[in-house]
């Protein structure tokens, strides 16, 4: 509260080449976070997504001020945060363990921080009431935490953080303890609440469906580095690297040397009538080794070869009925295992069984050229 007002209308949170090496030597390669740069916008719902151990939590804890970077800069609203303690950062954090006071009512749990800050009684009551309405717990104000469901307890924890009106809220796998159904409901709830309060959210998760559902933008992390930052549709449909393609969905990788290049399109001739075409980016020439990906729902299965730009042959290894679609795992003759989703709405061309020979085909635009990891 004693800090000077923010200086610019730039990003809410910036990380500039942030490294964290718990060993202390500052060696980049051995570090847990190996040089992360991010610019998170004001009011954005921003997710850090990646597998266990990739450095998401460590990155979040550095933004919060619970850890200091070994090198690099963290700016909050343009102000350098190095050396500024967590409680002076105008940021709140919500954890998976709600850490509510069991002997206090819901309202008193939420009011706790405001009382400590000696917020006047009237204002305190108004703010608590308003935030309990936002998280749809106004009718539970007098309950004790143990009288609430897991999802309700998590919303109390959220209300307790939001009532302080932080400039940003950091959330570390806050829904991790809830069962799938409740988690899905809470994802939509969280998104609605974030839109309503307009506060910047930075959300850590290893669950790609969760990140896709809630985020304005996602940073996909792998081994201490950010491999791609973008809106959900972009990271799903245009993954930058093989890791991103595989982590957000099924990667369906195809690799090889380009047989020919013409008019911005490359062709991999795979023999026996099999070929893959891919739109090119940058200066790629014939003979060059490339790697591309195609999403399972973009592929059509047929018994004979279709007259399409990309087609490969394979043998069905697995068939899994998923309700609205059926998933086929196909061992292709190129050696790559590929997954295909076919809709169960009657539009599928073929419904082959295990062991059948099939053709996989798709349009040029659905091949997506990958770049190598950073």
Q: Is 160 in the site for ligand ATP (CB under 6 A)?
A: no
- What are the structure tokens assigned to 209, written together? 């469906």
Q: Which of 6, 41, 43, 57 binds ligand ATP (CB under 6 A)?
A: 57
**Gap between the Cα atoms of 194 and 343, Å rounded:** 34
Segment interacting with ligand ATP (CB under 6 A) among 51-59, 207-215, 347-355, 365-373: 51-59
Query: Judged by CB under 6 A, does residue 54 bind ligand ATP?
Result: yes
Phi first, then psi: give them for residue 341, nearest 5 degrees.
-105, 125
Q: How far is the CB of 90 from ligand ATP (least distance, A)?
A: 23
Residue 53 in contact with ligand ATP, rule: CB under 6 A? yes
Measured from the CB atom, the residue of 105 and 223 that comes closer to ligand ATP is 223
Instruction: Indicate which single residue of 22, 26, 126, 281 sits in contact with ligand ATP (rule: CB under 6 A).
Output: 22
Beta-carbon contacts of 349 under 8 Å, excluding residues fewer than 6 positions away, are: 300, 301, 302
Nearer of residues 210 and 291 to ligand ATP, judged by Cβ: 210
Q: Is 50 in the site for ligand ATP (CB under 6 A)?
A: yes
Selected range binding ligand ATP among 1-9, 54-62, 70-78, 316-324, rule: CB under 6 A: 54-62
Question: Which letter, b or e, does each residue of 138-166 get, where b requires 16 or more Cβ atoms within 10 Å of its Cβ?
Answer: eebbeebbeebeebbbbbbbbbbbbbbeb
Task: State the Cα–Cα distance between residues 161 and 207, nearest whole angstrom.
Answer: 23
Site string for ligand ATP, 178-217 (x = CB under 6 A): ----------------------------x-----------
Our CB check for ligand ATP shows the closer of 91 and 221 to be 221
Q: Which is nearer to ligand ATP, 37 or 57 (CB)?
A: 57
Helices within the chain (DSSP H only): 56-64, 106-116, 121-134, 150-162, 180-197, 208-214, 232-237, 242-247
Q: Exposure string (b/e) for 185-197, b if CB count within 10 Å is 16 or more?
A: ebbebbbebbeeb
Stretch that binds ligand ATP, among 52-60, 80-88, 94-102, 128-136 (CB under 6 A): 52-60
Size of the site for ligand ATP (CB under 6 A): 11
Residue 372 has which token pair? 């190598």
Residue closer to ligand ATP, measured from CB, 54 or 211: 54
Longest distance between any two alpha carbons in the chain, whole Å = 79
259 touches ligand ATP by CB under 6 A:
no
Rounded Cα distance between 14 and 79, Å, is 9
**How many CB atoms within 10 Å of residue 121?**
11
Cα radius of gyration rounded to whole Å, the chain: 25
Among 47, 58, 250, 361, binds ligand ATP (CB under 6 A): 58
Closest among 224, 247, 225, 223 to 235, alpha carbons compared? 247
Q: How many CB atoms lie within 10 A of CB 119?
A: 18
Closer to ligand ATP by Cβ: residue 53 or 231: 53
Q: Which two tokens stand for residue 188?
A: 């939509």
Among 13, 14, 47, 55, binds ligand ATP (CB under 6 A): 55
**Between 205 and 329, whose beta carbon lies closer to ligand ATP?**
205
Binding mask 213-242 toward ligand ATP (x if CB under 6 A, else -) reads ------------------------------
- DSSP 8-state assignment for residue 321: E
- The total of other beta-carbon atoms located within 10 Å of residue 109's CB is 25
Residues at the contact surface with ligand ATP, assessed by CB under 6 A: 22, 32, 50, 52-58, 206
């Amino acid at each position: 509260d004693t800090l000077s007002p923010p200086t610019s209308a730039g990003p809410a949170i910036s990380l500039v080449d942030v490294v964290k090496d718990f060993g202390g030597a500052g060696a980049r390669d051995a570090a847990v976070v190996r040089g992360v740069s991010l610019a998170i916008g004001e009011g954005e719902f921003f997710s850090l997504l990646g597998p266990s151990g990739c450095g998401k939590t460590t990155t979040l804890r550095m933004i919060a001020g619970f850890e200091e970077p070994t090198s690099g800069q963290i700016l909050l609203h343009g102000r350098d945060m190095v050396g500024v303690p967590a409680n002076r950062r105008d940021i709140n954090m919500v954890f998976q363990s709600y850490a509510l006071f069991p002997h206090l009512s819901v309202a008193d749990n939420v009011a706790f921080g405001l009382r400590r800050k000696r917020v006047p009684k009237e204002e305190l009551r108004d703010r608590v009431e308003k935030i309990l309405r936002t998280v749809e717990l106004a009718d539970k104000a007098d309950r004790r935490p143990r009288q609430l469901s897991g999802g309700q307890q998590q919303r109390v924890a959220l209300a307790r953080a939001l009532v302080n009106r932080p400039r940003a809220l950091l959330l570390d796998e806050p829904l991790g303890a809830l069962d799938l159904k409740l988690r899905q409901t809470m994802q939509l709830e969280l998104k609605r609440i974030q839109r309503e309060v307009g506060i910047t959210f930075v959300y850590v998760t290893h669950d790609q469906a969760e990140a896709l559902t809630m985020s304005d933008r996602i940073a996909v992390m792998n081994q201490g580095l950010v491999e791609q930052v973008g809106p959900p549709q972009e990271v799903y449909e245009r993954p930058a690297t093989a890791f991103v393609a595989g982590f957000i969905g099924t990667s369906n990788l195809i690799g090889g040397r380009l047989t020919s290049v013409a008019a911005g399109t490359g062709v991999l001739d795979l023999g026996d009538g099999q070929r893959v075409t891919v739109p090119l980016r940058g200066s790629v020439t014939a003979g060059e080794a490339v790697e591309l990906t195609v999403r399972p729902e973009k592929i059509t299965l047929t018994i004979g070869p279709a007259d399409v730009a990309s087609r490969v042959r394979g043998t069905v290894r697995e068939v899994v009925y998923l309700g609205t679609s059926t998933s086929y795992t196909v061992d292709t003759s190129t050696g790559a295992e590929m997954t295909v989703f076919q809709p169960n709405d009657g539009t599928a061309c073929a419904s082959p069984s295990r062991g059948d020979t099939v053709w996989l085909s798709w349009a040029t635009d659905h091949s997506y050229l990958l770049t190598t990891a950073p």
